Chain A
């Protein structure tokens, strides 16, 4: 039984796992990109929020995701006396990570943005809105897009850990199929092909954008 045969025979199981993985990633991406952007703007404008955000980012960066996931699944729920479905636990934790990551990227870009470009726009008669749309956003997007895309690829890869708390995502499904037919090489090759198929284009896009938009703009 080769990779193709396995994919055909277990296509329903794989499709189910893929659906859960894409749900996990999709919700994480949506929450991170919207919530993180707003949080980043707030952190840039309000010093207190900025300090809190940096502290949280520092703590999260120092804690392995697996530890966080287990801690949120077992000790935290035991302490609170609640039982939350593993999917919701995983998606909440991934979303928090993504929100903080996106917010830090946005905050840093906003903090480092040269204010003089804005002043030059204002003295050239551009309104506040025109300055944002024509000067700030294009420059900021060029700066943050590659980092944001790389982060989203990492978030997709982190969804694999959800299998460890019994979320029936793609990796978990692959493990189940392997326990039935004992073809680890073929099954995990199929899994690798799937992740390469999804992640490589996003990585490629990030790389292309980096080359296309973040050219060296330093003046001689």
Chain B
């Protein structure tokens, strides 16, 4: 289980996270929704310890990281057991897609059979030797996911990865996510697309939704939260997104 308890993060006077509790179970998907600036990305980065919280506890498969740190020693990084796919992907531009995926594998002494498996899963064979700027957005999305997956992470945190994709590409990515979950990987999907969140949560019981606003969790639960929202702010948010869609 990857969990954050009472996570608090401030940037100057801005409270980005305010005592947030969230968890991501292995073979489950946690969808985090909320308007822009609600703290979704901050939460994701705090959980991955990329930008640790000021206060609270992050626990990863039983290992707890308490903040503020009692000793000033360096934090044992949880990567790539916990890994992140960023909204802008950040594939290394001087390497081809193949090299982007293989570099972490080579340096971490990973299993190359896994590379072949992931490439097949994502249907990447035809464009592996392109540089990121020569590949389409969908191809880059798949490469970024493949880079994260070859090292067999326990948890993958995905930050708005479908924000620039069309419906068809989004559907493809969603199927990838389901297949990852079925392999026992815990996923946190940060998104502001309600339709995408609904389609993920409708697929299987046990996946959960977290609605974040102003750095606080206003409501959480299963897909029922989206069907019968209790918090007026979530109701307003859903109504606004329905209006747009």
Which A residues have a C-beta under 8 Å from some C-beta of B? 114, 116-117, 119-127, 130, 134-135, 138-139, 142, 216-220
For the complex, is B57 an interface residue (Cβ under 8 Å from A)?
Answer: no
Separation in Å of the A29 CB from the closest CB of chain B?
26
* Complex CA–CA separation, A122 to B86 (angstroms): 13
Separation in Å of the B135 CB from the closest CB of chain A?
8
B79 touches A125 (CB 8 A): yes
For the complex, is B151 an interface residue (Cβ under 8 Å from A)?
Answer: yes
Partner of B94 from the list A122, A139, A218, A219 (CB cut-off 8 Å) is A139
- Answer whether A116 and B79 are a contact pair too, CB < 8 Å, given A139-B93, A217-B94, A217-B132: no
A124 touches B94 (CB 8 A): no
Partner of A119 from the list B90, B91, B133, B137 (CB cut-off 8 Å) is B90
- Answer whether A116 and B140 are a contact pair too, CB < 8 Å, given A124-B83, A218-B133, A219-B132: no
B86 touches A125 (CB 8 A): no
Cβ contacts A to B, 15 pairs, < 8 Å: A116-B86, A116-B90, A117-B92, A119-B84, A120-B84, A120-B86, A120-B92, A121-B92, A123-B48, A125-B104, A126-B104, A134-B107, A139-B93, A217-B93, A218-B133
B88 touches A125 (CB 8 A): no
Q: How large is the interface on B (under 10, 10 to 19, 20 to 34, 35 or more residues)?
A: 20 to 34
Q: Residue of B at shortest CB range from A124?
A: B104
User: A220 — which chain B residues lie within 8 A by C-beta?
Assistant: 133, 136-137
For the complex, is B147 an interface residue (Cβ under 8 Å from A)?
Answer: yes
The list of the 10 closest CB pairs from A to B, nearest first, reads A125-B80, A217-B93, A124-B104, A120-B90, A116-B90, A125-B108, A123-B79, A123-B84, A123-B83, A219-B133
Separation in Å of the A157 CB from the closest CB of chain B?
32
* Complex CA–CA separation, A117 to B192 (angstroms): 24
Q: Residue of A at shortest CB range from B151?
A: A125
Q: Residue of A at shortest CB range from B135?
A: A219
> Considering the complex, which residues of chain B in the window 130-180 have a beta carbon less than 8 Å from any beta carbon of chain A?
131-133, 136-137, 140, 147-148, 151
> Considering the complex, which residues of chain B in the window 85-134 have a beta carbon less than 8 Å from any beta carbon of chain A?
86, 88, 90-94, 103-104, 107-108, 131-133
* Complex CA–CA separation, A42 to B229 (angstroms): 53
A123 touches B80 (CB 8 A): yes
Separation in Å of the A40 CB from the closest CB of chain B?
20
User: A219 — which chain B residues lie within 8 A by C-beta?
Assistant: 93, 132-133, 137, 140
For the complex, is B64 an interface residue (Cβ under 8 Å from A)?
Answer: no
Separation in Å of the A133 CB from the closest CB of chain B?
10
For the complex, is B77 an interface residue (Cβ under 8 Å from A)?
Answer: yes
A126 touches B107 (CB 8 A): yes
B90 touches A124 (CB 8 A): no
Interface core residue of B48, B79, B137, B148 (most chain A CB under 10 Å): B79
Q: Residue of A at shortest CB range from B45?
A: A119
B107 touches A130 (CB 8 A): yes
For the complex, is B50 an interface residue (Cβ under 8 Å from A)?
Answer: yes
A217 touches B107 (CB 8 A): no
Interface core residue of A124, A135, A138 (most chain B CB under 10 Å): A124
Separation in Å of the B142 CB from the closest CB of chain A?
14
A114 touches B90 (CB 8 A): yes
* Complex CA–CA separation, A123 to B89 (angstroms): 12
User: A124 — which chain B residues lie within 8 A by C-beta?
Assistant: 79-80, 83, 103-104, 147-148, 151
A119 touches B50 (CB 8 A): yes
* Complex CA–CA separation, A125 to B136 (angstroms): 26
Separation in Å of the A113 CB from the closest CB of chain B?
12
Partner of A135 from the list B80, B86, B92, B136 (CB cut-off 8 Å) is B92
* Complex CA–CA separation, A127 to B104 (angstroms): 10
User: B50 — which chain A residues lie within 8 A by C-beta?
Assistant: 119, 122-123
User: A218 — which chain B residues lie within 8 A by C-beta?
Assistant: 133
